[in-house]
Amino acid sequence: MRVTDLPTDLPGYEHIYSGKVRDLYAPVGDDGQVVDDQLLLVASNRLSAYDWMMSPEIPDKGAVLTRLSLWWFDQLADLVPNHVISTDVPDAVAGRAVLVRRLDMLKVEAIARAYLTGGGLEEYREKGSVSGVALPEGLVDGSKLPEPVFTPTTKAPVGEHDLPMSPDEVEAELGAEVAAEVSRLTRAILARGNEIAAERGILIADTKVEFGLSSEGTGGLVLADEVLTPDSSRFWPADLWEPGHPQPSYDKQFVRDWLTSPESGWDRKAGGPPPELPQHVVEQTRAKYVEAYERLTGETF
Ligand code: Q0Z
């Protein structure tokens, strides 16, 4: 399914929005009115690589990531409340959808980095710091940071790129108190994630989390969206970790390796769409998502 396809028609729900890999619906009440304090978050089986949507989809990807996110919410429950209401969802999306509290979402992408790569590495090479945090000399692609660093960005509209936000910009957007709490929680979530994952052969290089403010109750920060999944984080196989070069991706490596191999025949720089993934690549990729779920949770998918 491409993002241009029509979303699944779900009786009793109104489609609100589709992102690259997930879809958002609002429940409709018995009176025909939209329930304005809830949302249905649906994870698809879509996968993107090199900024293209792959075809065919990866069977069970949405269910694996949904179950992983729900498991992490439990592991993090002593740190922060979350938006989950129920996993009682329509049959058409069973296992890959969650009913959640609708929150006032913060207009900041809350990112923390435990290992240096990507945009953080570029900033370090230019300035010796990342998001205003001075770092030791001599760090390379994949180096472990002394402790997780908060590296927030803007939430750019679809198609545009998120931009780094300075601590002052985050404070101006959120206020000093909420800004400090978002930074502390984002770093604590990644630290907890890595404590758990490291014992199970996975490193979490960095992660993006989303917070909202609850409109009722205490009005405090609530962890929303998905958390510590391969789509929101960089998962690396711990046994292959070797600072000094780009690390293999836990989930997408088979796809990237095949797309860049002569076998695929794809010329990425020519700008055209990638070819259809062969069945063995789809199967290997599905197996990596399942393996990540089973290693982390200790449960069978
Ligand atoms: C999440 C997203 C998409 C899935 C809005 N609890 C919440 N309250 C209000 N808004 C959100 C949430 Cl999770 C919210 N997103 C991102 C987009 C599918 C999630 F198309 N957007």
**Residues with Cβ within 8 Å of residue 264, at least 6 apart in sequence:** 258, 274, 275
The answer to whether the beta carbons of residues 210 and 105 sit under 8 Å apart is yes
Rg (CA), the chain: 19
Q: Please tell me the predicted confidence (pLDDT) of residue 6.
A: 59
Q: From atom 13 of ligand 1, which residue's Cα is the shortest distance away?
A: 225
Confidence at 157, pLDDT banded by 50, 70, 90: confident
Percent share of the chain, pLDDT over 90: 94
- H-run or E-run covering 49: strand 48-49
Confidence at 8, pLDDT banded by 50, 70, 90: confident
Q: How far is the CA of 253 from the centre of ligand 1 (A)?
A: 27
Question: Over the stretch 207-251, which tens digit does the pLDDT of each residue have?
Answer: 999 999 997 766 799 999 999 999 999 999 999 999 999 999 999
Query: pLDDT at residue 158 above 90?
Result: no
- H-run or E-run covering 41: strand 38-43
Eight-class DSSP state of 268: G
Question: Over the stretch 136-145, which tens digit does the pLDDT of each residue have?
Answer: 999 999 999 9
> What percent of the residues of the chain are helix, what percent strand, and what percent coil, each to the nearest 5?
30, 25, 45
Q: Please tell me the predicted confidence (pLDDT) of residue 3.
A: 47
Confidence at 37, pLDDT banded by 50, 70, 90: very high
Q: What is the pTM of this model?
A: 0.96
Nearest to 225 by CA among 6, 60, 19, 51: 19
Pocket-forming residues, ligand 1, beta carbon under 6 Å: 17-19, 22-24, 39, 41, 83, 100-103, 105, 212, 224-225
Q: Please tell me the predicted confidence (pLDDT) of residue 5.
A: 57
Index of the ligand 1 atom closest to the CA of residue 19: 20
Q: From atom 16 of ligand 1, which residue's Cα is the shortest distance away?
A: 225
The answer to whether the beta carbons of residues 128 and 134 sit under 8 Å apart is yes
Mutate to test the pocket of ligand 1, among 1, 10, 24, 86 (most ligand atoms within 8 A of CB): 24
Average the pLDDT over 281-290 and give the result: 98
Query: pLDDT at residue 100 above 80?
Result: yes
Mean pLDDT of the chain: 96
Q: Please tell me the predicted confidence (pLDDT) of residue 1.
A: 46
